[in-house]
Amino acid sequence: MTSRRPIGIFDSGVGGLSVLPHIRQRLPGEDLIYLADQAHVPYGPRAHAEVIQFSHSITDFFLRQQAKLVVVACNRASAAALTPLRYTFPDVLFVGMEPAVKPAVQQTKTGKVGVLATVGTLESDRYAQLMGRFAQNVTVWEDPCIGLVDLIESGQTDTPETEQLLRQVLAPMLAQGVDTLVLGCTHYPFVRPLLNTMAPSLAIIDPAPAVARQAHRVLQQAQLLGPATSGGKLTLFTTGPAAPFAHLTQRLIGHEGEVNTAVWQGTVIGHQSDQILTTDY
């Protein structure tokens, strides 16, 4: 069996665009819908309950577009909402993200690992469980990189200000002998070139390829892969202003195309041709 229904992918902003090309490469025939919730970016400092509510409403929006799988391309939203989403939508397939601590622990030679993630991810129960499972025998340095998501959202992936912020984050880690760095926020791969220049010997781990493999596996198991092996369409939505998002999408992943505006109406997201449904959670 196959299914032509699209895959929904979301993040608070442009972060999930670092995951999207891996999904396109792995599943080139699938139609993808990407939603950036830029009306609410950053998710990092927001309360769990709020992130859960946004994630529910975005899932609802994707289901109205007939999505067959929802990829939570955001560590923060996954940490807060993946379990509640699976509970509220038991028939929906989800793939989420978590900081790639396990491969980092396997790979480190110094036994010292750095994790860059937003404050909400670092303070989540899910992250605590992850550390408990995999990081018993290594030392982990964490940094919430305050302000980095905002810099990336404004297109500052390689400015002196971003470099300064990363220098402050990296200096203590490198001084302690950290040799492996986990990118625990989907925005951060966009500063990877800068990180590589600043710390060339640091091994950097981005879970995006593993997320794409998991999306493939989940669809295969559910017999919901699309019939085509190429030519999948990408439809972009933002809940913020469309023009800067289109510009940034072009810069970050080289995608030129129309960006649709999705509008929050209370706890529901709609767009022009969409029939707005009211849902209570």
User: How would you classify the pairing of strands 94-95 and 7-11?
Assistant: unpaired
CA distance 69 to 64: 12
Site string for ligand DGL, 192-231 (x = CB under 6 A): ----------------------------------------
The answer to whether 55 contacts ligand DGL (rule: CB under 6 A) is no
Q: Which of 19, 33, 35, 74 is catalytic?
A: 74
The answer to whether 189 contacts ligand DGL (rule: CB under 6 A) is no
Among positive and negative, which fits the CA dihedral 251, 252, 254, 255? negative
CB of 266 to ligand DGL, least distance (A): 21
Q: CB within 8 A of 194, min separation 6: which ones?
A: 157, 158, 162, 163, 166
Near ligand DGL by CB under 6 A: residue from 6, 7, 11, 199 = 11
9 versus 105: smaller Cβ distance to ligand DGL: 9
185 is catalytic: yes
Q: Which of 105, 145, 185, 248 is catalytic?
A: 185
CB of 9 to ligand DGL, least distance (A): 12
CA distance 182 to 101: 7
CA distance 15 to 36: 8
80 versus 174: smaller Cβ distance to ligand DGL: 80
The angle formed by the CA atoms of residues 32, 38 and 40, to the nearest 5 degrees, is 125
Q: What are residue 2's phi and psi, to 5 degrees?
A: -135, 170
Site string for ligand DGL, 113-132 (x = CB under 6 A): -----x--x-----------
Cβ neighbours around 56 below 10 Å, total: 18
The answer to whether 42 contacts ligand DGL (rule: CB under 6 A) is yes
> If you search the block for the tokens 């009306």, which residue do you land on?
39
Q: What is the DSSP string of 175-198?
A: HHT--EEEE-STTGGGGHHHHHHH
User: Do 19 and 9 contact (CB within 8 A), yes or no?
Assistant: yes
Near ligand DGL by CB under 6 A: residue from 33, 130, 187, 191 = 187
The answer to whether 157 contacts ligand DGL (rule: CB under 6 A) is no
79 versus 105: smaller Cβ distance to ligand DGL: 79
In one-letter notation, the amino acid at residue 167 is R
- Check whether the bond before 45 is cis (ω within 30° of 0): no
56 versus 76: smaller Cβ distance to ligand DGL: 76
CB of 23 to ligand DGL, least distance (A): 15
The answer to whether 238 contacts ligand DGL (rule: CB under 6 A) is no
153 versus 179: smaller Cβ distance to ligand DGL: 153
User: Do 238 and 259 contact (CB within 8 A), yes or no?
Assistant: yes
The answer to whether 145 contacts ligand DGL (rule: CB under 6 A) is no
Residues recognised as catalytic: 74, 185
Contact positions vs ligand DGL (CB under 6 A): 11-13, 15, 41-44, 74-76, 118, 121, 149, 185-187
